[in-house]
Structure 1
Amino acid sequence: MKLKLSLLFFSYLSLVALVNGADNERKTYIVYMGEMPEYRISAVDQHHNLLREAIKDEKIARESRIYSYEQSFNGFAARLLPHEADWLSQHESVVSVFLSKKLKLHTTRSWDFLGMNSKIPRMPQVESNTIVALLDTGVWIKSASFNDEGFGPPPSKWKGKCDKGVNFTGCNNKVIGARYFNLAGAADDDPLTPADLHGHGSHTASTAAGVAVPDTNLFGLANGIARGGVPSARIASYKVCWSKGCQDADLLAGFDAAIADGADIISVSIGGSTTTFLDDPIAIGAFHAMKRGILTLCAGGNDGPEFSTVENTAPWIMTVAASSIDRQFQSLVRLGDGTKIPGISVNTFTAAKQQYPLLNGFLARKESPKNSSACESGSLREDKVKGRIVYCQGSLGQDTIIKELGGIGIITSMDSFTDTAFPAVISASSVTVTDGQKIDRYINSTKGAATAVIDKSVTVSLTAPSIASFSSRGPQIITNNILKPDIAAPGIDILAAYSPAVTMSGEAGDNRLVNYNVISGTSMACPHVAAAAAYVKTFHPNWSIAAIKSALMTTAKPMKVQPEGAELSAGAGLIDPVSALNPGLIYEADMNSYITFLCKEGYNSSDIGLISGNKTKSCSSYPSAKGSDGLNYPTMQLRVNLSSTTISAVFYRTVTYVGQNKTMYKASVTAPKGLMVTIVPNTLSFSKQNEQQSFQVLLNGSFVGNKPWFISASLVWSDSKNNVKCPILVYKPLY
């Protein structure tokens, strides 16, 4: 059978040679060799030996190998002549040999995962006139993601300008504005320049609106097309963050400029204040943007999985949680006894051929009150760490400590953040606590020296989406009855443009400079939703920011979050930008709606007059806010007293029909035992576009027995085409 298959393969190779040209042209073939062998011979050596036998020339054999696959399976890629490939196909250790084909390019994943592939409908001219502003660390305009080839001049509405400075000589027709704000002194010794010397700003900007760049990757990880959600849109960069952080004064100056310059969408991947809205510069800036029809998107924060940690909670802001996509970067830990332990990290270092000595932090301890098991700074002996891999319990970010002491690798264990791969300055992998205990037992029970090796990261598929463990949760602490975050978007292991002015990890001792980097955070999720909002706006340029926000929320995909608190983690769910183009019904709100809401929240009339721009208009001039939350919001949340066992509330809502033909929507409710949700009326008829209908949502029930501190329900309005979803959450305070 082997001979028959080989003969068939030889015929195939001959045909390929005829099709592709002369028989002496080397092409890239993949030699698949099955599972990793049990014996300890280096896979690289095995692959080289085979190539040397096939090619008959030591130098050419060594130069021909492109990759060695030596972690999850055995094989290699090499540049071969057809007869060399045929020889390898007949070798007893080889399963198959085949040409490496050029497949269809895919995005480096998040936009395809969200259904925004290259074939979705677009409004190219309108998109090109859309301006996405980012308040961040600046932009590295030299990145291929910001190439302006094919772009015409900036839209006529654009009023911005371009500052100059180090590594920045001017804008182009893609990045049409770049300004920096440092009057608050956050830059300190930083060069005064709009150029991104941190990497964060370029990453967020390219995620939102970068042009398509093929064959991007991070040392082979996440290879594909890097592109933004609205690649034809223009970018305006406002550098408000520096090496020492982001000052409120600079941040507000950035808002001020972005609004005046003509931005359509403002993306802010910056932590907000957990204070009243009028003391929060982001809430203030976003409010004034809202008044001018500009939607502000903000990161919800990275303080999860604890509850009541969500930031940027003003109702006129769209607050974004971070979710996973369907890939993960895994770094296998191989112990000296043959045990293989899965871990995750962005580990770009190629695994060594031999194993290294392995010990834990406790065995490397020195006299110190600090926790050596967690490898705290100052707790370890240099002579014990040098040349070794160190296992550190319950910690992250100790790689710089181990490197400074001469260590060559680190294994960490935590049961939180096991969904997020982090970069390190040395070979690293993060494992679960259970697997960490296995490593500890191996170290403590091995006669002689324990050893290990950490493999370079590989990309694997996984089930998604899920909320990132680091993503901040509600309930928010500023406004009891507004659910935050609003929505979720990809924020784990996102590949996007970076700045070569800073190292890959940003840590001392790291010499890796990259043009594209993998980063995680709600900072990465925020520009995804900013792009989605811009995308919807290109089809509906006259929609209000509340309408765009509502469309994204009511069409979002519900997410299950374990063990509890789905809505507190994900809001309305995962964005579905294409579905948001035709939401059926929207929940409208304007400036007067938000003013009425602020009045209900207890803000005084003089302040209301100031922020509304009408000093003579007090709260008594606005209609009283009705219902438990006082706002026409696309979600519903109710806080009850800690000692209360009963639930009683009413929400007032008005929906606007944005479809084309006459239709009727019928309400359906999903609610747990103990909670009754009544919709009055439970059918809504519409005869024309932009017609409005109002309804009430009545909640009655109780927290029964061992019920958790929250109760989750949902309302869906459905006609023959659309399902307009609205989560309902009732909770007790955590303290």
Structure 2
Amino acid sequence: MASFVKRSVLCLIPFLLLAVVAVGEVATSADDELTTFIVHVHPHEDHELATADEKKTWYTSYLPEDGRLVHAYHHVATGFAARLTRRELNEVSSAMPGFLAAIPEEVYVPLTTHTPEFLGLVTNPPNGSVYGSDRGAGVIIGVIDTGVFPFHPSFADAGMPPPPARWKGRCDFVNASACNNKLIGARSFVTTTKPILNGTAGNTEPFDDGGHGTHTASTAAGSAVAGAHVLGQARGVATGMAPRAHVAVYKVCNATACLGSDVLAAVDAAVADGCDVVSLSLGAASHPFYLDAVAVAALGAVEKGVFVSAAAGNSGPNATSLSNEAPWVLTVAASTMDRAIRSTVQLGNGAAFHGESAYQPTNVSSSSSFYPLVQVGAALCGPGSLDGADVRGKIVVCQLGGGPGRNITRVMKGQVVRDAGGAGMVLVNSFPIGYTTLAEAHVLPASHVDHAASLAIRSYMSSTANPVARIVFGGTVLGTRSAPVMAGFSSRGPGLQDPSILKPDVTGPGVNVLAAWPTQVGPPPTQLDDGVPRGGPTFNIISGTSMSTPHLSGIAAAIKSVHPTWSPAAIKSAIMTTADPTDRSSGGGLLLDEQHRPADWFAAGAGHVSPEKAADQGLVYDIDPRDYVGYLCGLYNSSQNVSVVARRRVDCSAVAAVHGSALNYPSISVVFPRRWNTSRAVVVRRTARNVGTKVPVTYAVTVDMPAGGDVAVDVSPRELVFTEVGQEQSFDVAVTARRSGTGARKVVQGALRWVSGRYTVRSPISVSFD
């Protein structure tokens, strides 16, 4: 996997996240070069404007000419986006009352049949299910992505009621029948007037140019489609997490790129249209929140009661590689499920190693002959790398990843091998990605094997002058491996902006996820004698935190349908405090990472989502969105920067600052300096609200920390007694370090659990010495 940082630019192409690329700072923009800037303003009270049209007219009056205004923001940001030169920006900033800041345009690059069952959700739930048969009913999910293919059966509306009366959105397809009671809205913010990276413009209709948006939207709330499969594999009923929810799609990307000003405009529109949940499979290199358009938009949405989930990123397993760290966002990591689409590599020495591939032609069987096994050069198998190489009729070993700055996908590698006459491909992992394997729609016989298998295969190749191998296909297999396991590509904490907020928040299915796709995948139509089933609705299997995010968006929508009065923070708390930190298939052992070691909280967050438990939790930790202003003042101590994020004028000298560890967050993170006076403790307070229906009820606390370690955690009081529904009780958590002196960074992690007769409310604890 290629993952690198250059000029604060983070490339996350290989696993289908949307990653940010900064075009440039104001100070380095050419004086006469037109650049899109997001301009934040807080007009003086004399300039308060009542309507959107009045605001737009006012903004335009300060711009040099018509056509420069790109977007005017009204709900999740205060200001506008405009194309200006640096000189023009300086003139606008000096003339416009209430000018705060101008942020250069950012360019974003476009990077289930089994998951409902794996998560304990089924199409026809049994008696006792919290959700009943209407999971997500009455809730609207806004998907900010690459658009949608509206005619896919995953967006059929049989049995769906009309959208709620609050819905104010629209459908911008020329064919009005493209929208219905399932797909209730679709808009494009990719216009023909804005160049994107390569100078090309997008379709003004919100059609999906690549498939990413169709996949994420159907994962969140797709209707049930029987007989779904990818090239005959992973057969079953494909359904979203909230199949009764309505979907609105906001296109912010064409086939090659997306613009940050469009993302902000799309979230602004989703809030105005009446969405309850916003799903963002988008990410960026870490920025201060006042420079992060997604963080600004998300806070505006949360303040209006809209739940926001966003991808953690695909730069794992590197530490501090997270995207979307803001505490008001649910940050979603990616992990596996217990399904394999098996493709086995058999070597000439008798050894065999299970890998995966979605393409499994029947004209290649276990009786097939062995083929020579070769590796060419660095084995990257990028375009041109096999030119002149003798690989015809051979199986080629290719390394996962593409080298710095190169977007070479796994399927692309197979195409290179196929074009060079290769008979098959073995895709091998480097050490960091460990045991993570991907079942993709390759264009030739292939197998993606883990790092242990990679070492054994290369050892065999070096031990003989004529290494041979064959690929044997085993089809779809369920329940044969530990799951969930963290994906090697899933980004890790701690967060760079504020390590006192433990991130990511939770993990969900993000590896080999089947969902809707606009077109047929796999080998080209000329290769139709392989016995692979084709036809019918088209689906694809892809991986990334882009895939885990809509799972959580749909689950949040399902919880919202059961608890319509819960705030975004309450829903987030219920998801996190019921998350499972154990491996479901190994009798209760800890959830594992990509090396099959116990995963820490910086990889898995609170653990793997448990949807049924999340909708029936006893206590929640709620946060008034106004508390985030005090948090921001404590984080930045800059009224101007906080005003940008808060979208209103803030005087931090008049606001009580709140440290991140003191925010009423469902997890606890404390960071000690390397030298620490062990006679003192850090005390953080949490306030729990009783949302259970039976009172009175008593919760007793249990602290799970490593015995005899460097950290002691005490909780006071030891019991919480609730006599009313909705009652709140506070408690203090004292964290004492038993260690001092200097040394390498060390992290001690555990949890505290409030347990009643029915509920367990679990909060991860992370204590770091830095």
What secondary structure does 2:558 align onto?
helix
Q: 2-side partners of 1:356 and 1:381: how far apart?
A: 24
- What is the CA distance between 1:418 and its match in structure 2? 3.0
- Residue 584 to residue 409, structure 1, CA distance change in 2 (3 Å): same
Whether 2:394 is the aligned partner of 1:388: answer: yes
Whether 2:658 is the aligned partner of 1:649: answer: no
Does the CA-based 8 Å contact 2:417-2:425 persist in structure 1?
Answer: yes
**Equivalent in the alignment of 1:139:** 148
Q: 1-side partners of 2:764 and 2:370: how far apart?
A: 52
Q: Which amino acid aligns with 2:139?
A: T
Whether 2:360 is the aligned partner of 1:357: answer: no
Q: 2-side partners of 1:115 and 1:680: how far apart?
A: 35
Q: Which amino acid aligns with 1:210?
A: G
What secondary structure does 2:560 align onto?
helix
Q: Which amino acid aligns with 2:120?
A: G
**Equivalent in the alignment of 1:720:** 757
Does the CA-based 8 Å contact 1:491-1:520 persist in structure 2?
Answer: yes
Does the CA-based 8 Å contact 1:390-1:402 persist in structure 2?
Answer: yes
**Equivalent in the alignment of 1:84:** none
Q: 2-side partners of 1:480 and 1:504: how far apart?
A: 43
Q: 2-side partners of 1:267 and 1:374: how far apart?
A: 34
**Match for residue 700 of structure 1 among 723, 726, 736:** 736
Q: Which amino acid aligns with 2:374?
A: N
What secondary structure does 1:242 align onto?
coil
- What is the CA distance between 1:670 and its match in structure 2? 1.3
Q: 2-side partners of 1:517 and 1:413: how far apart?
A: 22
Q: 2-side partners of 1:400 and 1:593: how far apart?
A: 52
The CA deviation string for residues 159-192 of structure 1, in whole angstroms up to 9 with x for no partner, is: 0011125x88631111000011114433825433
The CA deviation string for residues 377-422 of structure 1, in whole angstroms up to 9 with x for no partner, is: 5443535012221123565733232223221211122242532314
Structure-to-structure mapping, 1:455-466, within 5 angstroms: 455=473, 457-461=475-479, 462-466=481-485
Structure-to-structure mapping, 1:154-169, within 5 angstroms: 154-164=163-173
- What is the CA distance between 1:667 and its match in structure 2? 1.4
Whether 2:587 is the aligned partner of 1:569: answer: no
When normalised by structure 2's length, the TM-score is 0.75
Q: 1-side partners of 2:383 and 2:677: how far apart?
A: 49
Whether 2:695 is the aligned partner of 1:639: answer: no
Q: 1-side partners of 2:152 and 2:689: how far apart?
A: 43
Q: 2-side partners of 1:426 and 1:644: how far apart?
A: 59
Q: 2-side partners of 1:372 and 1:538: how far apart?
A: 52
Does the CA-based 8 Å contact 1:503-1:510 persist in structure 2?
Answer: no
Q: 2-side partners of 1:449 and 1:113: how far apart?
A: 40
- What is the CA distance between 1:337 and its match in structure 2? 5.2
The CA deviation string for residues 358-394 of structure 1, in whole angstroms up to 9 with x for no partner, is: 23224xxxxxxxx444445544353501222112356
**Match for residue 566 of structure 2 among 543, 547, 553:** 543
- What is the CA distance between 1:348 and its match in structure 2? 3.3
Whether 2:121 is the aligned partner of 1:116: answer: yes
When normalised by structure 1's length, the TM-score is 0.78
Whether 2:730 is the aligned partner of 1:730: answer: no
Whether 2:294 is the aligned partner of 1:282: answer: yes
What secondary structure does 1:426 align onto?
coil
- Residue 393 to residue 504, structure 1, CA distance change in 2 (3 Å): closer
Uncovered stretches (5+) of structure 2, i.e. residues with no partner: 1-111, 403-409, 529-533, 583-589
- What is the CA distance between 1:459 and its match in structure 2? 2.7
**Match for residue 422 of structure 2 among 397, 400, 407:** 407
- What is the CA distance between 1:246 and its match in structure 2? 1.9
Q: 2-side partners of 1:178 and 1:622: how far apart?
A: 40
Does the CA-based 8 Å contact 1:481-1:639 persist in structure 2?
Answer: yes
Q: 2-side partners of 1:164 and 1:579: how far apart?
A: 39
The CA deviation string for residues 302-342 of structure 1, in whole angstroms up to 9 with x for no partner, is: 11111111110100000001111111122012334554332
Number of residues of Structure 1 aligned to a counterpart in Structure 2? 614
**Equivalent in the alignment of 1:600:** 634
The CA deviation string for residues 444-487 of structure 1, in whole angstroms up to 9 with x for no partner, is: 55566735345364434322112111111100101120011101
What secondary structure does 2:662 align onto?
coil
**Equivalent in the alignment of 2:218:** 206
- What is the CA distance between 1:624 and its match in structure 2? 3.8
- What is the CA distance between 1:230 and its match in structure 2? 1.2
Structure-to-structure mapping, 1:653-664, within 5 angstroms: 653-660=686-693, 661-664=695-698
Higher-Rg member (1/2): 1
- What is the CA distance between 1:664 and its match in structure 2? 1.9
Q: 1-side partners of 2:638 and 2:719: how far apart?
A: 38
- What is the CA distance between 1:250 and its match in structure 2? 1.1
- Bigger relative CO (Cα 8 Å, ≥ 6 apart): 2
Q: Which amino acid aligns with 1:176?
A: I
Q: Which amino acid aligns with 1:538?
A: S
Whether 2:450 is the aligned partner of 1:432: answer: yes
CA RMSD for the aligned pairs?
A: 2.8
Q: 1-side partners of 2:134 and 2:401: how far apart?
A: 50
Q: Which amino acid aligns with 1:479?
A: D
- Residue 692 to residue 648, structure 1, CA distance change in 2 (3 Å): same
Q: 1-side partners of 2:185 and 2:510: how far apart?
A: 26
